[in-house]
Amino acid sequence: MATATKKKTASKPRLQPLGDRVVVKRDESEETTAGGIVLPGAAQDKPSRGVVVSVGNGRLLDDGSRSPLQVAPGDRVIFGRYAGSDTFQIGDEEVILIREDDIQAVLLD
């Protein structure tokens, strides 16, 4: 009797946040200033905007229910400069894990 074996497909690893946490892919940092000066990597500021990759299932309320998050995957957001000290390498992308409270605005098109 032959047994079926599951083939592992080469898929991109995923990070599923819990609670009110959000995974954000940070935008690329600027390499030149407005005056045309080229900045070395150490002098570049980390941008405080990015794209939401995935979201948790919401904040747990006192009554046991969950409050839905205000952001969704694909939203372009602005967050605090010091938000997201937890960075992770997922495949070839670097993402940060932040709380929804650290998101200050959603950029609308």
Q: pLDDT tens-digit profile of 23-56?
A: 999 887 666 666 766 656 554 556 788 999 999 9
Tell me how far apart the alpha carbons of residues 55 and 70 are, in angstroms, rounded to a whole number.
Answer: 10
Q: Residue 99's closest CA among 17, 41, 13, 32?
A: 17
Give the predicted TM-score (pTM) of the model: 0.72
Q: Which residue has the tokens 């995974």?
A: 23
Q: How far is CA 19 from CA 50, 56, 67, 71, 84, in A?
A: 20, 5, 9, 13, 15
pLDDT-derived band at 15, boundaries 50, 70, 90: confident
